[in-house]
Amino acid sequence: MPELPAPPPSGPLATRPDVTVPAGPDVTVPAGPDVALPDGAGPTAALVAGIAGWIGADPLRRLVARFGGTWPNADLADTLWFLDEFSARHWDFRGGRERPDAREPDLDPGTAELVRAAATALGLVRPVPPTRPAYAHLVVLGGLAHACLRRVAYAAHLLRAGLRVTGEVAVLGSFRPLSDLEHRTLAEADVPGCVTEVDALDAAVRLAFGVTAPSQEDGVDGGHPHHSWSSRTYLPAGLPRVRVLAAPSSEPQRRRAHTADTQRFWAGHVRLAPIDPVLLVTAPIYVPFQHCDALRTLAVPYGCGIETVGVDATLEDLARLPEPTLSPGRYLQEIRSAIRSMRALHDQLPAR
Which amino acid is it at 196? T
What is the rounded average pLDDT for all residues in the chain?
85
Mean pLDDT throughout 220-227? 64
Residues contacting residue 89 through CB under 8 Å, at least 6 positions apart: 17
Type and span of the H or E element at 55: helix 44-55
pLDDT, residue 219, reads 72
pLDDT, residue 315, reads 87
Q: 71 pLDDT exceeds 90? A: yes
Query: What backbone phi and psi angles, to 5 degrees, belong to 16?
Result: -135, 105
Q: 218 pLDDT exceeds 50? A: yes
Which amino acid is it at 179? S
CB hemisphere CA count around 29 (13 angstroms) = 25
Q: SS3 for 143? A: coil
Mean pLDDT throughout 137-149? 93
- DSSP letters of 236-302? -TTS-EEEEEEPPPSSTTT----HHHHHHHHHTTS---TT-EEEEEE-GGGHHHHHHHHIIIIIHHH
Asked if residue 44 lies in contact with residue 349, where contact means CB atoms within 8 angstroms, the answer is yes
Q: 15 pLDDT exceeds 60? A: no
Distances, alpha carbon 68 to alpha carbons 3, 133, 276, in Å? 19, 45, 44
pLDDT, residue 217, reads 87
Mean pLDDT throughout 302-316? 91
Asked if residue 329 lies in contact with residue 102, where contact means CB atoms within 8 angstroms, the answer is yes
Between residues 270 and 124, which one has the greater pLDDT? 124
The pTM (predicted TM-score) of the whole model is 0.86
pLDDT, residue 220, reads 67
User: At 21, is the pLDDT very low, low, confident or very high (cuts 50, 70, 90)?
Assistant: very low
**Residue 192 carries which DSSP code?**
-
Q: What is the chain's length? A: 352
User: At 25, is the pLDDT very low, low, confident or very high (cuts 50, 70, 90)?
Assistant: very low
Mean pLDDT throughout 152-179? 94
pLDDT, residue 3, reads 34
User: At 55, is the pLDDT very low, low, confident or very high (cuts 50, 70, 90)?
Assistant: very high
In this structure, the strands spanning 164-165 and 168-173 are unpaired
Tens of pLDDT, residue by residue over 251-279, are: 777 777 777 888 888 888 888 888 899 99
- Which candidate, 182, 183, 153, places its Cα nearest to that of 169? 153
Dist CA 302 CA 289 (whole Å)? 19
Dist CA 176 CA 29 (whole Å)? 38
Asked if residue 80 lies in contact with residue 342, where contact means CB atoms within 8 angstroms, the answer is yes
pLDDT, residue 324, reads 72
User: At 43, is the pLDDT very low, low, confident or very high (cuts 50, 70, 90)?
Assistant: confident
Asked if residue 20 lies in contact with residue 66, where contact means CB atoms within 8 angstroms, the answer is no
Tens of pLDDT, residue by residue over 285-298, are: 999 999 999 999 99
Distances, alpha carbon 327 to alpha carbons 28, 99, 164, 213, 352, in Å? 17, 12, 35, 39, 39
Mean pLDDT throughout 94-106? 69
Q: SS3 for 3? A: coil
Dist CA 196 CA 173 (whole Å)? 9
**Residue 308 carries which DSSP code?**
E
pLDDT, residue 18, reads 37
CA 283-288-251 angle, to 5 degrees, is 90
